[in-house]
Amino acid sequence: MSHSNISIFVPHKGCPNDCSFCNQRAISGQTVPATPLDVENAVKVAIEYNVDPKNTEIAFFGGSFTAIERDYMLSLLTAAKHFLDMYNFKGIRVSTRPDCIDESILETLKNYGVTVIELGAQSMCDDVLLANRRGHTANDVRKASKFIRDYGFELGLQMMTGLYKSDFEKDEYTAREIIKLQPDTVRVYPTVVLKNTHLGFLQEKGEYIAPTAEETAPFCAKLLQMFENENIRVIKLGLHSSETVESDMVGGAYHPAFRELCEGHIYLQKILEKLSEKDKNLEYVIYVNKKVLSKAKGQQKRNEKALKNQGFHCIIKGKENLEEFDIEVEVLE
């Protein structure tokens, strides 16, 4: 059975900054602080839906968990620990800021059964962090990551692409610096410009234009392969699909199936590599794992169209016993 989270959002509480991109009401659909009762209710719903506790984590999202008022944090952890012990869940996951981690906090998290800590690094370029009002440095990310590793937690890191004062070269540098920190997992969020944010204000003034989903997808496809080549799992690629995000966005790289868009680019490049020395006067059958056939064809069959535009006459078909990104090419008889 696949991994799942029982997600509890802790919006804005404790965050000392007003990051350029942040509008948590739009991102999470929630502004009211979570309570221990919310933890209880979320767990009960999950149990009713027969989640597998051994593959399920209680997850506190919101990005500033260890910065919230201590008694409030402990009340949420106490509630989570109660159900962790009752149902033998896999663990507790929290997301927080790199400058809100120290040995005392890590001792507390360990005592309450936290197993995974995610840090919102966003960029490893100090000028980008400063321009986007993050309030921490790249070295804060390095220091916190080492602490988390030393204490035996699973480490997750989050990065963003297309931020104000950044570009794809800086974003690739961020990815390479994150790889050096050897996280277990990574989340990659292309920037989505939302109403009532500093980025939205900068866009209105004409001082910033975020890359679109079409512009960003080939680059994020490259990042996806970089991380996976280092055995770092990319557990999220693109902001989750949400009616609130769709209604509040005013620019940037949003697509309801962004990861699939990126994976489609990977398949197109791999197919083109296989066809690079083939005779364009012949017709070919391209075989991929049947489970990923729709990705290989691309959304709205864009990959088949792209191959045709480059002079190749191909049919893409599914086949058993191929690995995820394996490609086989045969001449169509």
- For residues 56 and 93, the answer to whether their CB atoms sit within 8 Å is no
Whether 118 shows a pLDDT value over 90: the answer reads yes
DSSP secondary structure, 280-330, as one string = TTSEEEEEEEGGGHHHHH-GGGHHHHHHHHTT-EEEEEEETT--TT--EEE
CB atoms near residue 181 (< 10 Å): 20
Instruction: Report the interhelical angle of 302-309 vs 258-275 (nearest 10°).
Output: 30
Whether 263 shows a pLDDT value over 70: the answer reads yes
**What number is the average pLDDT over the span 45-68?**
95
Read off the pTM.
0.92
pLDDT at 3: 84
Task: Find where tokens 């590793």 sit.
Answer: 149
Residue spans per domain, the chain: 4-256, 275-331
Taking only Cα atoms into account, the Rg of the chain, rounded to an integer number of angstroms, comes to 22
pLDDT at 31: 61
Pick the CATH number of 4-256 from 3.40.980.10, 1.10.240.10, 3.20.20.70, 3.40.640.10: 3.20.20.70
